[in-house]
Protein backbone atom coordinates (compact mmCIF):
# COMPACT_ATOMS: atom_id res chain seq x y z
CA UNK A 1 0.00 0.00 0.00
CA UNK A 2 1.42 3.38 -1.00
CA UNK A 3 0.60 7.06 -0.64
CA UNK A 4 2.07 10.12 -2.38
CA UNK A 5 2.44 13.23 -0.21
CA UNK A 6 4.00 16.70 -0.48
CA UNK A 7 5.94 17.73 2.60
CA UNK A 8 6.31 21.31 3.95
CA UNK A 9 9.50 21.71 1.88
CA UNK A 10 7.37 21.17 -1.26
CA UNK A 11 9.04 17.82 -1.90
CA UNK A 12 7.04 14.90 -3.38
CA UNK A 13 7.46 11.60 -1.54
CA UNK A 14 6.11 8.09 -2.21
CA UNK A 15 5.65 6.30 1.12
CA UNK A 16 5.07 2.56 0.88
CA UNK A 17 4.50 -0.33 3.28
CA UNK A 18 3.88 -4.02 2.77
CA UNK A 19 5.03 -7.59 3.23
CA UNK A 20 8.74 -8.25 3.06
CA UNK A 21 8.33 -10.72 0.18
CA UNK A 22 6.84 -7.91 -1.94
CA UNK A 23 8.77 -4.88 -0.70
CA UNK A 24 12.33 -6.22 -1.06
CA UNK A 25 11.70 -6.87 -4.75
CA UNK A 26 10.91 -3.19 -5.30
CA UNK A 27 14.00 -1.73 -3.65
CA UNK A 28 16.61 0.13 -5.67
CA UNK A 29 20.29 -0.87 -5.56
CA UNK A 30 21.10 2.16 -3.43
CA UNK A 31 18.17 1.46 -1.09
CA UNK A 32 19.36 -2.00 0.04
CA UNK A 33 21.95 -0.79 2.53
CA UNK A 34 20.20 -2.30 5.56
CA UNK A 35 18.46 -5.20 3.82
CA UNK A 36 20.41 -7.99 5.51
CA UNK A 37 19.92 -6.55 8.99
CA UNK A 38 16.22 -5.87 8.32
CA UNK A 39 15.65 -9.44 7.12
CA UNK A 40 17.26 -10.73 10.31
CA UNK A 41 15.11 -8.44 12.45
CA UNK A 42 11.94 -9.52 10.60
CA UNK A 43 12.82 -13.18 11.09
CA UNK A 44 13.33 -12.67 14.81
CA UNK A 45 10.07 -10.74 15.11
CA UNK A 46 8.16 -13.41 13.19
CA UNK A 47 9.57 -16.23 15.33
CA UNK A 48 8.31 -14.31 18.37
CA UNK A 49 4.81 -14.35 16.86
CA UNK A 50 4.73 -10.67 15.88
CA UNK A 51 3.11 -9.34 12.70
CA UNK A 52 5.69 -7.55 10.55
CA UNK A 53 5.67 -4.91 7.80
CA UNK A 54 8.45 -3.32 5.74
CA UNK A 55 8.54 0.47 5.20
CA UNK A 56 10.19 2.21 2.25
CA UNK A 57 10.09 5.56 0.44
CA UNK A 58 11.12 7.28 -2.80
CA UNK A 59 11.62 10.88 -3.96
CA UNK A 60 9.51 11.96 -6.96
CA UNK A 61 10.05 14.87 -9.31
CA UNK A 62 7.19 16.95 -10.66
CA UNK A 63 7.39 15.77 -14.28
CA UNK A 64 7.42 12.09 -13.37
CA UNK A 65 4.49 12.54 -10.98
CA UNK A 66 2.36 14.47 -13.51
CA UNK A 67 2.99 11.91 -16.26
CA UNK A 68 2.14 9.07 -13.90
CA UNK A 69 -0.96 10.82 -12.52
CA UNK A 70 -2.39 11.17 -16.04
CA UNK A 71 -1.81 7.48 -16.75
CA UNK A 72 -3.27 6.49 -13.38
CA UNK A 73 -6.38 8.65 -13.94
CA UNK A 74 -6.95 7.07 -17.36
CA UNK A 75 -6.67 3.61 -15.82
CA UNK A 76 -9.09 4.46 -12.98
CA UNK A 77 -11.70 5.89 -15.36
CA UNK A 78 -11.37 3.07 -17.85
CA UNK A 79 -14.48 0.95 -18.43
CA UNK A 80 -12.63 -1.83 -20.21
CA UNK A 81 -12.72 -5.43 -19.00
CA UNK A 82 -9.08 -5.20 -17.90
CA UNK A 83 -9.68 -2.18 -15.63
CA UNK A 84 -8.04 -3.80 -12.60
CA UNK A 85 -5.01 -4.88 -14.63
CA UNK A 86 -4.54 -1.33 -15.95
CA UNK A 87 -4.67 0.13 -12.42
CA UNK A 88 -2.20 -2.48 -11.12
CA UNK A 89 0.17 -1.79 -14.02
CA UNK A 90 0.07 1.95 -13.34
CA UNK A 91 0.79 1.38 -9.65
CA UNK A 92 3.72 -0.92 -10.44
CA UNK A 93 5.35 1.82 -12.53
CA UNK A 94 5.56 4.21 -9.58
CA UNK A 95 6.15 1.63 -6.80
CA UNK A 96 9.78 0.84 -7.78
CA UNK A 97 13.33 1.93 -6.94
CA UNK A 98 12.34 2.35 -3.30
CA UNK A 99 14.71 3.10 -0.42
CA UNK A 100 14.40 0.84 2.61
CA UNK A 101 13.47 2.61 5.85
CA UNK A 102 13.03 -0.36 8.19
CA UNK A 103 10.45 -2.76 9.56
CA UNK A 104 7.69 -2.69 12.16
CA UNK A 105 6.48 -5.49 14.43
CA UNK A 106 3.09 -5.50 16.13
CA UNK A 107 1.78 -7.95 18.68
CA UNK A 108 -1.68 -9.24 17.77
CA UNK A 109 -2.79 -11.63 20.48
CA UNK A 110 -5.35 -14.34 19.85
CA UNK A 111 -8.81 -13.61 21.14
CA UNK A 112 -10.10 -15.48 24.16
CA UNK A 113 -11.31 -19.00 23.39
CA UNK A 114 -9.86 -19.31 19.88
CA UNK A 115 -7.82 -22.53 20.51
CA UNK A 116 -10.77 -24.25 22.18
CA UNK A 117 -13.10 -23.15 19.35
CA UNK A 118 -10.82 -24.47 16.62
CA UNK A 119 -10.31 -27.73 18.52
CA UNK A 120 -14.07 -28.29 18.81
CA UNK A 121 -14.64 -27.47 15.13
CA UNK A 122 -11.94 -29.99 14.21
CA UNK A 123 -13.64 -32.62 16.42
CA UNK A 124 -16.85 -31.91 14.49
CA UNK A 125 -15.13 -33.04 11.29
CA UNK A 126 -14.75 -29.54 9.83
CA UNK A 127 -11.59 -29.00 7.76
CA UNK A 128 -9.94 -25.71 8.77
CA UNK A 129 -7.64 -23.68 6.53
CA UNK A 130 -5.87 -20.48 7.62
CA UNK A 131 -5.37 -17.81 4.96
CA UNK A 132 -3.27 -15.02 6.41
CA UNK A 133 -1.05 -12.17 5.31
CA UNK A 134 1.49 -12.85 8.08
CA UNK A 135 5.01 -14.18 7.54
CA UNK A 136 5.46 -17.93 7.58
CA UNK A 137 7.15 -17.97 10.99
CA UNK A 138 4.36 -15.85 12.48
CA UNK A 139 1.69 -18.03 10.87
CA UNK A 140 3.31 -21.20 12.24
CA UNK A 141 3.46 -19.74 15.75
CA UNK A 142 -0.20 -18.75 15.52
CA UNK A 143 -1.00 -22.24 14.21
CA UNK A 144 0.52 -23.80 17.33
CA UNK A 145 -1.17 -21.22 19.58
CA UNK A 146 -4.63 -21.94 18.17
CA UNK A 147 -4.19 -25.76 18.18
CA UNK A 148 -4.25 -25.96 14.39
CA UNK A 149 -0.70 -27.32 14.46
CA UNK A 150 0.14 -29.94 17.09
CA UNK A 151 3.29 -31.58 18.36
CA UNK A 152 4.04 -34.71 16.34
CA UNK A 153 2.35 -33.34 13.22
CA UNK A 154 4.63 -33.39 10.18
CA UNK A 155 4.86 -30.21 8.14
CA UNK A 156 4.96 -29.99 4.35
CA UNK A 157 6.42 -26.54 3.61
CA UNK A 158 6.18 -25.19 0.06
CA UNK A 159 8.33 -22.13 -0.50
CA UNK A 160 10.57 -20.52 -3.12
CA UNK A 161 13.38 -19.65 -0.69
CA UNK A 162 16.10 -21.62 -2.49
CA UNK A 163 19.57 -20.72 -3.73
CA UNK A 164 18.72 -21.38 -7.39
CA UNK A 165 15.73 -19.02 -7.29
CA UNK A 166 17.78 -16.36 -5.44
CA UNK A 167 20.47 -16.47 -8.15
CA UNK A 168 17.88 -15.97 -10.87
CA UNK A 169 16.34 -13.08 -8.93
CA UNK A 170 19.66 -11.30 -8.80
CA UNK A 171 20.02 -11.74 -12.58
CA UNK A 172 16.58 -10.16 -13.06
CA UNK A 173 15.37 -12.56 -15.79
CA UNK A 174 11.63 -12.69 -15.02
CA UNK A 175 10.79 -15.45 -17.50
CA UNK A 176 13.51 -17.71 -16.14
CA UNK A 177 12.37 -16.97 -12.57
CA UNK A 178 8.74 -17.84 -13.40
CA UNK A 179 9.73 -21.07 -15.18
CA UNK A 180 12.07 -22.20 -12.41
CA UNK A 181 9.52 -21.28 -9.73
CA UNK A 182 6.76 -23.25 -11.45
CA UNK A 183 8.99 -26.34 -11.72
CA UNK A 184 10.04 -25.97 -8.08
CA UNK A 185 6.42 -25.81 -6.89
CA UNK A 186 5.47 -28.81 -9.03
CA UNK A 187 8.36 -30.80 -7.56
CA UNK A 188 7.49 -29.85 -3.97
CA UNK A 189 3.83 -30.80 -4.47
CA UNK A 190 4.91 -34.15 -5.91
CA UNK A 191 7.22 -34.76 -2.95
CA UNK A 192 4.44 -33.82 -0.53
CA UNK A 193 2.08 -36.36 -2.10
CA UNK A 194 4.72 -39.07 -1.83
CA UNK A 195 5.16 -38.27 1.88
CA UNK A 196 1.42 -38.63 2.43
CA UNK A 197 1.31 -41.97 0.60
CA UNK A 198 4.28 -43.38 2.52
CA UNK A 199 2.82 -42.30 5.89
CA UNK A 200 -0.74 -43.58 5.35
CA UNK A 201 -0.16 -46.81 7.27
CA UNK A 202 1.38 -44.94 10.23
CA UNK A 203 -1.65 -42.64 10.72
CA UNK A 204 0.60 -39.58 10.91
CA UNK A 205 -1.08 -36.18 10.54
CA UNK A 206 0.34 -33.68 8.06
CA UNK A 207 0.09 -29.91 7.85
CA UNK A 208 0.59 -28.02 4.59
CA UNK A 209 2.25 -24.59 4.83
CA UNK A 210 2.68 -22.45 1.72
CA UNK A 211 3.68 -18.82 1.27
CA UNK A 212 2.02 -16.26 -0.97
CA UNK A 213 4.68 -16.27 -3.70
CA UNK A 214 4.47 -20.05 -4.01
CA UNK A 215 0.69 -19.90 -3.84
CA UNK A 216 0.56 -17.65 -6.91
CA UNK A 217 2.17 -20.47 -8.94
CA UNK A 218 0.21 -23.25 -7.21
CA UNK A 219 -3.04 -21.57 -8.28
CA UNK A 220 -2.11 -21.79 -11.97
CA UNK A 221 -4.34 -24.03 -14.04
CA UNK A 222 -1.50 -26.53 -14.53
CA UNK A 223 -0.93 -27.01 -10.80
CA UNK A 224 -4.14 -26.11 -8.98
CA UNK A 225 -5.62 -29.63 -9.21
CA UNK A 226 -2.56 -31.35 -7.75
CA UNK A 227 -2.22 -28.61 -5.12
CA UNK A 228 -5.85 -29.07 -4.06
CA UNK A 229 -5.42 -32.87 -3.83
CA UNK A 230 -2.38 -32.42 -1.60
CA UNK A 231 -4.12 -29.82 0.59
CA UNK A 232 -7.27 -31.93 1.05
CA UNK A 233 -5.24 -34.91 2.27
CA UNK A 234 -3.54 -32.77 4.94
CA UNK A 235 -5.12 -32.31 8.36
CA UNK A 236 -4.31 -28.57 8.45
CA UNK A 237 -3.50 -26.00 5.77
CA UNK A 238 -1.85 -22.60 6.34
CA UNK A 239 -1.45 -20.15 3.46
CA UNK A 240 0.75 -17.29 4.66
CA UNK A 241 1.64 -13.97 3.04
CA UNK A 242 -1.59 -14.29 1.06
CA UNK A 243 -3.01 -11.28 -0.74
CA UNK A 244 -6.76 -10.55 -0.57
CA UNK A 245 -7.12 -11.82 -4.15
CA UNK A 246 -5.30 -15.05 -3.31
CA UNK A 247 -7.62 -15.61 -0.34
CA UNK A 248 -10.62 -15.36 -2.65
CA UNK A 249 -8.99 -17.62 -5.26
CA UNK A 250 -8.18 -20.32 -2.71
CA UNK A 251 -11.74 -20.19 -1.41
CA UNK A 252 -13.10 -20.52 -4.94
CA UNK A 253 -10.72 -23.41 -5.66
CA UNK A 254 -11.93 -25.35 -2.62
CA UNK A 255 -15.57 -24.59 -3.33
CA UNK A 256 -15.47 -25.51 -7.02
CA UNK A 257 -12.90 -28.31 -6.73
CA UNK A 258 -14.54 -30.28 -3.93
CA UNK A 259 -18.20 -29.34 -4.26
CA UNK A 260 -18.36 -28.99 -0.48
CA UNK A 261 -19.93 -26.11 1.43
CA UNK A 262 -17.33 -23.50 2.37
CA UNK A 263 -17.43 -20.98 5.22
CA UNK A 264 -15.03 -18.04 5.46
CA UNK A 265 -14.51 -15.94 8.57
CA UNK A 266 -12.52 -12.71 8.75
CA UNK A 267 -12.39 -9.35 10.47
CA UNK A 268 -10.62 -7.00 8.04
CA UNK A 269 -11.10 -5.28 4.72
CA UNK A 270 -8.61 -7.68 3.14
CA UNK A 271 -11.00 -10.56 3.92
CA UNK A 272 -13.94 -9.11 1.97
CA UNK A 273 -13.19 -11.01 -1.27
CA UNK A 274 -12.88 -14.30 0.63
CA UNK A 275 -16.12 -13.71 2.55
CA UNK A 276 -18.05 -12.98 -0.64
CA UNK A 277 -16.56 -15.93 -2.52
CA UNK A 278 -17.44 -18.51 0.16
CA UNK A 279 -20.87 -20.10 0.41
CA UNK A 280 -21.20 -18.58 3.90
CA UNK A 281 -19.37 -15.48 5.06
CA UNK A 282 -18.96 -14.69 8.77
CA UNK A 283 -17.62 -11.25 9.69
CA UNK A 284 -16.01 -10.53 13.06
CA UNK A 285 -16.64 -6.99 14.23
CA UNK A 286 -13.66 -5.41 15.91
CA UNK A 287 -10.94 -2.78 15.73
CA UNK A 288 -10.23 -3.40 12.03
CA UNK A 289 -13.41 -1.74 10.84
CA UNK A 290 -16.81 -2.90 9.67
CA UNK A 291 -16.00 -3.81 6.05
CA UNK A 292 -15.93 -7.55 6.78
CA UNK A 293 -19.19 -7.39 8.72
CA UNK A 294 -20.95 -5.44 5.98
CA UNK A 295 -19.84 -7.98 3.36
CA UNK A 296 -20.78 -11.12 5.30
CA UNK A 297 -23.89 -13.23 5.82
CA UNK A 298 -23.47 -13.43 9.60
CA UNK A 299 -21.75 -11.07 12.03
CA UNK A 300 -20.28 -12.10 15.38
CA UNK A 301 -18.38 -10.10 17.99
CA UNK A 302 -15.61 -12.65 18.68
CA UNK A 303 -14.15 -15.64 16.86
CA UNK A 304 -15.05 -18.05 19.67
CA UNK A 305 -18.76 -17.45 19.01
CA UNK A 306 -18.32 -19.38 15.76
CA UNK A 307 -18.51 -22.71 17.59
CA UNK A 308 -21.91 -21.83 19.03
CA UNK A 309 -23.09 -20.52 15.65
CA UNK A 310 -22.19 -23.80 13.94
CA UNK A 311 -22.32 -26.56 16.56
CA UNK A 312 -25.42 -25.32 18.40
CA UNK A 313 -27.55 -23.13 16.16
CA UNK A 314 -26.31 -24.79 12.98
CA UNK A 315 -27.23 -28.24 14.29
CA UNK A 316 -30.59 -27.12 15.64
CA UNK A 317 -31.54 -25.25 12.45
CA UNK A 318 -30.57 -28.18 10.22
CA UNK A 319 -32.67 -30.55 12.31
CA UNK A 320 -35.64 -28.17 12.52
CA UNK A 321 -35.73 -27.43 8.80
CA UNK A 322 -35.27 -31.10 7.86
CA UNK A 323 -38.04 -32.24 10.18
CA UNK A 324 -40.32 -29.40 9.08
CA UNK A 325 -39.99 -30.20 5.37
CA UNK A 326 -40.39 -33.95 5.88
CA UNK A 327 -43.45 -33.34 8.04
CA UNK A 328 -44.97 -31.10 5.36
CA UNK A 329 -44.66 -34.00 2.93
CA UNK A 330 -46.24 -36.33 5.47
CA UNK A 331 -49.25 -34.25 6.48
CA UNK A 332 -50.22 -33.28 2.94
CA UNK A 333 -49.82 -36.81 1.58
CA UNK A 334 -51.81 -38.23 4.49
CA UNK A 335 -54.62 -35.75 3.77
CA UNK A 336 -54.48 -35.89 -0.02
CA UNK A 337 -54.49 -39.66 -0.33
CA UNK A 338 -57.66 -39.99 1.77
CA UNK A 339 -59.32 -38.00 -1.03
CA UNK A 340 -57.87 -40.39 -3.60
CA UNK A 341 -59.06 -43.51 -1.75
CA UNK A 342 -62.51 -41.99 -1.33
CA UNK A 343 -62.77 -41.19 -5.04
CA UNK A 344 -61.83 -44.78 -5.84
CA UNK A 345 -64.42 -45.97 -3.29
CA UNK A 346 -67.03 -43.73 -4.94
CA UNK A 347 -66.08 -45.09 -8.40
CA UNK A 348 -64.68 -41.67 -9.36
CA UNK A 349 -68.17 -40.27 -9.52
CA UNK A 350 -67.06 -36.79 -8.44
CA UNK A 351 -68.66 -37.08 -5.00
CA UNK A 352 -66.53 -34.85 -2.67
CA UNK A 353 -65.16 -36.46 0.46
CA UNK A 354 -64.88 -33.20 2.42
CA UNK A 355 -66.63 -29.88 2.56
CA UNK A 356 -64.85 -27.17 0.56
CA UNK A 357 -64.02 -25.16 3.67
CA UNK A 358 -62.52 -28.24 5.34
CA UNK A 359 -59.96 -28.47 2.56
CA UNK A 360 -59.32 -24.72 2.50
CA UNK A 361 -58.63 -24.53 6.23
CA UNK A 362 -56.50 -27.68 6.51
CA UNK A 363 -53.14 -26.01 5.82
CA UNK A 364 -54.20 -22.63 7.22
CA UNK A 365 -55.61 -23.27 10.69
CA UNK A 366 -55.60 -26.96 11.61
CA UNK A 367 -52.03 -28.08 10.82
CA UNK A 368 -49.90 -24.96 10.18
CA UNK A 369 -49.07 -23.66 13.66
CA UNK A 370 -47.61 -26.91 15.11
CA UNK A 371 -45.14 -27.25 12.24
CA UNK A 372 -44.09 -23.61 12.70
CA UNK A 373 -43.45 -24.32 16.37
CA UNK A 374 -41.39 -27.36 15.35
CA UNK A 375 -39.30 -25.24 12.97
CA UNK A 376 -38.67 -22.53 15.58
CA UNK A 377 -38.37 -24.15 19.01
CA UNK A 378 -37.39 -27.82 18.69
CA UNK A 379 -34.09 -29.01 20.21
CA UNK A 380 -32.95 -32.63 20.15
CA UNK A 381 -30.23 -31.98 22.76
CA UNK A 382 -29.28 -28.94 24.83
CA UNK A 383 -26.70 -26.35 23.82
CA UNK A 384 -24.30 -27.72 26.44
CA UNK A 385 -24.43 -31.20 24.95
CA UNK A 386 -24.05 -29.85 21.41
CA UNK A 387 -20.77 -28.28 22.50
CA UNK A 388 -19.75 -31.31 24.54
CA UNK A 389 -20.25 -33.71 21.60
CA UNK A 390 -19.17 -31.78 18.47
CA UNK A 391 -19.64 -34.85 16.25
CA UNK A 392 -23.39 -34.23 16.49
CA UNK A 393 -22.69 -31.69 13.75
CA UNK A 394 -21.90 -34.59 11.41
CA UNK A 395 -25.61 -35.38 11.20
CA UNK A 396 -25.88 -32.28 9.05
CA UNK A 397 -22.62 -32.77 7.14
CA UNK A 398 -23.60 -36.34 6.19
CA UNK A 399 -27.18 -35.20 5.59
CA UNK A 400 -28.59 -37.97 7.75
CA UNK A 401 -31.89 -36.20 8.49
CA UNK A 402 -32.65 -34.98 4.97
CA UNK A 403 -31.54 -37.85 2.75
CA UNK A 404 -33.74 -39.42 0.10
CA UNK A 405 -34.40 -42.55 2.21
CA UNK A 406 -35.65 -40.36 5.05
CA UNK A 407 -37.81 -38.19 2.77
CA UNK A 408 -39.29 -41.28 1.08
CA UNK A 409 -39.84 -42.81 4.52
CA UNK A 410 -41.95 -39.84 5.62
CA UNK A 411 -43.86 -39.93 2.33
CA UNK A 412 -44.51 -43.65 2.79
CA UNK A 413 -45.67 -42.95 6.33
CA UNK A 414 -48.16 -40.45 4.89
CA UNK A 415 -49.50 -43.01 2.41
CA UNK A 416 -49.79 -45.64 5.17
CA UNK A 417 -51.58 -43.16 7.45
CA UNK A 418 -54.10 -42.31 4.72
CA UNK A 419 -54.80 -46.02 4.08
CA UNK A 420 -55.32 -46.74 7.79
CA UNK A 421 -57.57 -43.71 8.31
CA UNK A 422 -59.73 -44.29 5.24
CA UNK A 423 -60.22 -48.05 5.50
CA UNK A 424 -60.53 -48.09 9.28
CA UNK A 425 -63.16 -45.35 9.14
CA UNK A 426 -65.16 -46.81 6.28
CA UNK A 427 -65.07 -50.41 7.56
CA UNK A 428 -65.93 -49.44 11.13
CA UNK A 429 -68.81 -46.99 10.73
CA UNK A 430 -70.43 -47.61 7.32
CA UNK A 431 -71.87 -51.09 8.04
CA UNK A 432 -73.16 -50.04 11.47
CA UNK A 433 -76.23 -48.15 12.62
CA UNK A 434 -74.62 -44.79 13.36
CA UNK A 435 -77.49 -43.02 15.17
CA UNK A 436 -79.84 -44.11 17.94
CA UNK A 437 -82.76 -44.23 15.55
CA UNK A 438 -80.93 -46.80 13.42
CA UNK A 439 -79.86 -44.51 10.57
CA UNK A 440 -76.61 -45.50 8.86
CA UNK A 441 -73.72 -43.21 8.01
CA UNK A 442 -74.04 -40.78 5.10
CA UNK A 443 -71.21 -39.13 3.16
CA UNK A 444 -71.32 -35.98 5.30
CA UNK A 445 -70.70 -37.94 8.51
CA UNK A 446 -68.09 -40.15 6.85
CA UNK A 447 -66.21 -37.07 5.63
CA UNK A 448 -66.34 -35.36 9.04
CA UNK A 449 -65.13 -38.54 10.78
CA UNK A 450 -62.27 -39.03 8.33
CA UNK A 451 -61.26 -35.38 8.58
CA UNK A 452 -61.31 -35.54 12.38
CA UNK A 453 -59.02 -38.58 12.27
CA UNK A 454 -56.64 -36.81 9.89
CA UNK A 455 -56.44 -33.68 12.09
CA UNK A 456 -55.84 -35.77 15.19
CA UNK A 457 -53.29 -38.05 13.48
CA UNK A 458 -51.08 -35.39 11.90
CA UNK A 459 -51.03 -33.26 15.05
CA UNK A 460 -50.28 -36.22 17.31
CA UNK A 461 -47.62 -37.29 14.81
CA UNK A 462 -45.78 -34.01 15.28
CA UNK A 463 -46.14 -34.42 19.05
CA UNK A 464 -44.27 -37.72 18.71
CA UNK A 465 -41.57 -36.06 16.58
CA UNK A 466 -40.90 -33.09 18.87
CA UNK A 467 -38.00 -33.51 21.31
CA UNK A 468 -38.32 -30.27 23.25
CA UNK A 469 -41.77 -29.25 24.49
CA UNK A 470 -42.70 -25.77 25.64
CA UNK A 471 -46.13 -24.39 26.40
CA UNK A 472 -46.15 -22.91 22.90
CA UNK A 473 -45.95 -26.35 21.27
CA UNK A 474 -48.69 -27.68 23.53
CA UNK A 475 -50.86 -24.66 22.79
CA UNK A 476 -50.42 -24.95 19.02
CA UNK A 477 -50.86 -28.74 18.79
CA UNK A 478 -53.86 -29.21 21.06
CA UNK A 479 -55.23 -25.79 20.18
CA UNK A 480 -55.33 -26.76 16.48
CA UNK A 481 -57.35 -29.87 17.31
CA UNK A 482 -59.74 -27.96 19.58
CA UNK A 483 -60.13 -25.26 16.94
CA UNK A 484 -61.33 -27.93 14.49
CA UNK A 485 -64.24 -28.78 16.78
CA UNK A 486 -64.99 -25.10 17.43
CA UNK A 487 -64.98 -24.44 13.68
CA UNK A 488 -67.29 -27.40 13.08
CA UNK A 489 -69.78 -26.13 15.67
CA UNK A 490 -69.74 -22.51 14.44
CA UNK A 491 -69.72 -23.33 10.72
CA UNK A 492 -72.34 -26.04 11.18
CA UNK A 493 -74.67 -23.61 12.96
CA UNK A 494 -74.94 -21.42 9.87
CA UNK A 495 -77.79 -21.87 7.44
CA UNK A 496 -77.66 -24.92 5.15
CA UNK A 497 -77.12 -22.68 2.13
CA UNK A 498 -73.81 -21.56 3.67
CA UNK A 499 -72.64 -24.61 5.63
CA UNK A 500 -73.95 -27.12 3.04
CA UNK A 501 -72.68 -30.61 4.00
CA UNK A 502 -71.42 -29.41 7.41
CA UNK A 503 -74.85 -28.27 8.67
CA UNK A 504 -75.09 -29.42 12.32
CA UNK A 505 -72.98 -32.47 11.42
CA UNK A 506 -71.11 -32.43 14.74
CA UNK A 507 -73.89 -31.36 17.12
CA UNK A 508 -76.67 -33.58 15.77
CA UNK A 509 -74.87 -36.47 14.06
CA UNK A 510 -71.29 -37.07 15.19
CA UNK A 511 -71.07 -35.90 18.83
CA UNK A 512 -74.02 -37.97 20.15
CA UNK A 513 -72.61 -41.15 18.55
CA UNK A 514 -70.21 -43.26 20.57
CA UNK A 515 -69.09 -44.89 17.31
CA UNK A 516 -67.72 -41.54 16.04
CA UNK A 517 -65.48 -41.04 19.09
CA UNK A 518 -64.43 -44.69 19.18
CA UNK A 519 -63.57 -44.74 15.48
CA UNK A 520 -61.57 -41.56 15.86
CA UNK A 521 -59.66 -42.84 18.91
CA UNK A 522 -58.80 -46.27 17.52
CA UNK A 523 -58.09 -44.91 14.04
CA UNK A 524 -55.62 -42.34 15.35
CA UNK A 525 -53.86 -44.92 17.56
CA UNK A 526 -53.59 -47.32 14.60
CA UNK A 527 -52.21 -44.52 12.43
CA UNK A 528 -49.50 -43.59 14.91
CA UNK A 529 -48.40 -47.17 15.60
CA UNK A 530 -46.16 -47.64 12.50
CA UNK A 531 -44.03 -44.54 13.20
CA UNK A 532 -44.00 -45.23 16.95
CA UNK A 533 -42.84 -48.82 16.35
CA UNK A 534 -40.17 -47.72 13.88
CA UNK A 535 -38.77 -45.10 16.27
CA UNK A 536 -38.82 -47.56 19.18
CA UNK A 537 -36.88 -50.10 17.11
CA UNK A 538 -34.44 -47.51 15.79
CA UNK A 539 -33.77 -46.00 19.24
CA UNK A 540 -33.15 -49.44 20.73
CA UNK A 541 -31.20 -51.25 18.01
CA UNK A 542 -29.98 -48.66 15.44
CA UNK A 543 -29.86 -45.36 17.30
CA UNK A 544 -28.75 -42.11 15.74
CA UNK A 545 -26.08 -40.13 17.52
CA UNK A 546 -28.53 -37.82 19.26
CA UNK A 547 -30.65 -40.83 20.32
CA UNK A 548 -27.70 -42.21 22.31
CA UNK A 549 -27.12 -38.90 24.06
CA UNK A 550 -30.83 -38.51 24.82
CA UNK A 551 -30.95 -42.03 26.26
CA UNK A 552 -27.95 -41.41 28.50
CA UNK A 553 -29.45 -38.15 29.67
CA UNK A 554 -32.78 -39.81 30.50
CA UNK A 555 -30.94 -42.51 32.45
CA UNK A 556 -29.11 -39.84 34.46
CA UNK A 557 -25.70 -40.88 33.13
CA UNK A 558 -25.12 -37.61 31.23
CA UNK A 559 -23.93 -35.40 34.07
CA UNK A 560 -20.19 -34.95 33.47
CA UNK A 561 -19.14 -31.80 31.65
CA UNK A 562 -15.81 -33.29 30.58
CA UNK A 563 -15.97 -34.03 26.87
CA UNK A 564 -13.28 -36.73 27.02
CA UNK A 565 -15.17 -39.17 29.23
CA UNK A 566 -17.79 -40.52 26.86
CA UNK A 567 -20.27 -43.36 27.38
CA UNK A 568 -19.31 -46.64 25.67
CA UNK A 569 -22.03 -46.49 22.98
CA UNK A 570 -21.16 -42.84 22.27
CA UNK A 571 -17.50 -43.78 21.77
CA UNK A 572 -18.54 -46.56 19.36
CA UNK A 573 -20.71 -44.11 17.42
CA UNK A 574 -17.89 -41.55 17.27
CA UNK A 575 -15.53 -44.23 15.93
CA UNK A 576 -18.09 -45.20 13.29
CA UNK A 577 -18.53 -41.58 12.20
CA UNK A 578 -14.76 -41.02 12.06
CA UNK A 579 -14.34 -44.09 9.84
CA UNK A 580 -17.06 -42.72 7.57
CA UNK A 581 -15.25 -39.37 7.40
CA UNK A 582 -11.98 -41.06 6.45
CA UNK A 583 -13.69 -43.05 3.68
CA UNK A 584 -15.36 -39.90 2.29
State the pairing for strand pair 51-60/12-18: antiparallel
DSSP-based three-state secondary structure for 349? coil
Q: Tell me, what's the pLDDT at 564?
A: 43
DSSP-based three-state secondary structure for 129? strand
Q: Tell me, what's the pLDDT at 578?
A: 60
What does the pLDDT look like over 52-66, one tens digit per residue? 899 999 999 889 899
Q: Above pLDDT 90, what percent of the chain?
A: 52
DSSP-based three-state secondary structure for 289? strand
CA distances to 44, 71, 180, 274, 437 from 441, rounded to whole Å, are: 92, 91, 91, 68, 12
Q: Tell me, what's the pLDDT at 521?
A: 96
- What is the DSSP secondary-structure string of 413-465? HHHHHHHHHHHHHHHHHSSSB-STT--B--HHHHHHHHHHHHHHHHHHHHHHH
User: Rounded to the nearest 10 degrees, how much is the dihedral formed by the CA atoms of 119, 122, 123, 124?
Assistant: 130
> Is-above-0.85 flag for pTM?
no
State the pairing for strand pair 206-211/99-106: unpaired
Beta carbons within 8 Å of 447's beta carbon, 6+ residues apart: 352, 353, 354, 355, 358, 501
User: Which amino acids are annotated as binding site for ATP, given as ranges?
Assistant: 17, 51, 132-134, 241, 247, 270-271
List, run by run, the mean pLDDT of 10-residue segments along the chain (584 residues). Answer: 90 91 87 89 85 91 90 87 84 90 87 89 91 87 85 88 75 79 90 87 85 90 91 92 92 92 91 94 84 92 93 94 95 95 91 92 93 92 90 89 94 96 91 73 90 96 92 95 95 92 90 91 96 93 86 68 48 60 59
Strand order in the sheet with 206-211: 129-131, 236-240, 206-211, 154-158
Yes or no: say if 199 and 158 are a contact pair by the CB < 8 Å rule. Answer: no
User: Which amino acids are annotated as binding site, given as ranges?
Assistant: 17, 51, 132-134, 241, 247, 267, 270-271
Q: Tell me, what's the pLDDT at 573?
A: 58
Q: Tell me, what's the pLDDT at 557?
A: 64
State the pairing for strand pair 236-240/206-211: parallel
Q: Tell me, what's the pLDDT at 583?
A: 60
User: Which amino acids are annotated as binding site for Mg(2+), given as ranges?
Assistant: 267, 271
Q: What span, in angstroms and rounded, lies between the C-alpha atoms of 100 and 27?
A: 7
Amino acid sequence: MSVIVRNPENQLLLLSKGADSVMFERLSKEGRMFEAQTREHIRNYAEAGLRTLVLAYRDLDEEEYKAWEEEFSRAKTSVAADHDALVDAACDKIERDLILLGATAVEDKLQKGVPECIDRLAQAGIKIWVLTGDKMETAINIGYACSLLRQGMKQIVITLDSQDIDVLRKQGDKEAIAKASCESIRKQIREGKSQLISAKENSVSFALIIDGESLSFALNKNLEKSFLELAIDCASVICCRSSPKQKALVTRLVKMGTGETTLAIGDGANDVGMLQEADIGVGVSGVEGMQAVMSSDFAIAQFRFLERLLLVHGHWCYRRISMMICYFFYKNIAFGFTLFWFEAYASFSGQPAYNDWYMSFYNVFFTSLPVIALGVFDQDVSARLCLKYPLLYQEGVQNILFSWPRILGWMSNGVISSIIIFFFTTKSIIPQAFRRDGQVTDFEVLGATMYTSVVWAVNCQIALSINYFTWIQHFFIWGSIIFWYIFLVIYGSLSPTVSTTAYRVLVEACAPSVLYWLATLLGVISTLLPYFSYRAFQTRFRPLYHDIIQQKRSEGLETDDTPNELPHRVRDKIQHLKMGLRRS
